């Protein structure tokens, strides 16, 4: 299995964000890539505008657009978007198959206090198979919910965990208030306990706080809990991850991509 991880620049408006996603898929598909991993709330972007932009009309439009994009280029798309179900709004992560079908959806369970104002917590953490690999998803701070995630996935046979995020690595604090790379430490522990590789796709910037630093740094972690690769901080980067069922991992920086 090989996939493209798009640590893409967050745009100022939803249409520009959509066009960037489309452009990256078009470029990657031309080079033979068939699996694309995007960040949390890749559409419309992880910012305050998500509240006003999350309407039934927009959510339907975005799903149709991504379904058509996946089908046209015969690819799998893993993309973060809001999802509306009746009166509930979820911070969700979708997988669209080459058929255009929405084959799996993860609703974020472990919401931040600010997210709880708008989003409804998810209720389950599904798993799916792709090219012989069993995978699931933890969204952003859910990597800190180690006990809960371990209980949900320990008997699932999961090989890979995708970790779409919006994390600034200079703001991390442990539960006792001490400084430290808490997210990275917990992600490594999660990988070890579940014997699963992890691929993070983080945002390299934010539009709510444009001068925020130490964003990005998307990580690839082995099933032994070792960091195999870390992307650039504060800059966009597209890279390819090649995974083998034997837990071998290779990473390739795709410097010829335009984004």
Model pLDDT, residue 256:
81
Q: Which two tokens stand for residue 68?
A: 């058509």
Verdict on whether the full-model pTM lies above 0.75: yes
Domain segments of the chain: what residues? 2-253
Across the chain, where does the E strand assignment appear? 2-7, 35-37, 76-85, 88-96, 102-107, 128-130, 133-137, 160-165, 197-202, 219-221, 227-230, 237-243, 249-253
When pLDDT is cut at 50, 70 and 90, the band that residue 252 belongs to is very high
pLDDT at 76 over 90: yes
Triad 32, 223, 233: Cα angle to 5°:
65
- The closest alpha carbon to 219, from 161, 149, 157, 135, belongs to 161
Residue of higher predicted confidence among 210 and 5: 5
Q: What pLDDT, in 10s, does the model give residues 164-218?
A: 999 987 654 444 443 347 999 999 999 999 999 999 999 999 988 888 888 999 9
Return mean pLDDT, the chain. Answer: 93
For residue 160, pLDDT beyond 90: yes
pLDDT for 81 equals 98
Give mean pLDDT, residues 61-82.
Answer: 98
Distance CA 150, CA 106 (A): 16
What pLDDT sits at residue 168? 86
pLDDT in tens, 84-129: 999 999 999 999 999 999 999 999 999 999 999 999 999 999 999 9
Place of tokens 């335009």: 258
Question: Looking at residue 248, what DSSP letter applies?
Answer: -
The second-level CATH assignment, the architecture, of 2-253 is 4-Layer Sandwich (3.60)
């Amino acid at each position: 299995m090989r996939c493209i991880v798009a640590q893409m620049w967050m745009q100022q408006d939803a249409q520009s964000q959509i066009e960037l996603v489309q452009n990256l898929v078009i470029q990657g598909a031309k080079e033979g890539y068939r699996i694309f991993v995007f960040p949390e709330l890749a559409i419309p972007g992880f910012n305050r505008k998500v509240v006003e932009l999350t309407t039934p009309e927009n959510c339907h439009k975005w799903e149709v657009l991504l379904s058509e994009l996946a089908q046209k280029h015969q690819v799998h798309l893993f993309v973060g978007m809001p999802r509306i179900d009746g009166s509930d709004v979820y911070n969700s992560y979708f997988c669209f198959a080459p058929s255009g079908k929405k084959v799996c959806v993860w609703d974020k369970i472990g919401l931040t206090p600010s997210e709880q104002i708008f989003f409804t917590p998810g209720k389950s953490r599904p798993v799916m198979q792709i090219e012989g690999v069993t995978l699931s998803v933890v969204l952003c701070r859910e990597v800190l919910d180690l006990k809960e995630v371990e209980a949900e996935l320990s008997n699932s046979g999961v090989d890979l965990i995708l970790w779409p995020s919006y994390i600034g690595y200079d703001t991390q604090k442990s539960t006792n208030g001490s400084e430290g790379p808490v997210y990275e430490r917990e992600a490594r522990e999660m990988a070890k306990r579940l014997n699963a590789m992890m691929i993070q796709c983080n945002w390299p910037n934010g539009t709510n706080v444009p001068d925020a630093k130490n964003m990005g740094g998307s990580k690839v972690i082995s099933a032994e809990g070792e960091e195999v690769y870390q992307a650039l901080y504060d800059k966009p980067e597209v890279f390819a991850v090649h995974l083998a069922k034997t837990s071998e991992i290779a990473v390739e920086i795709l410097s010829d991509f335009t984004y």
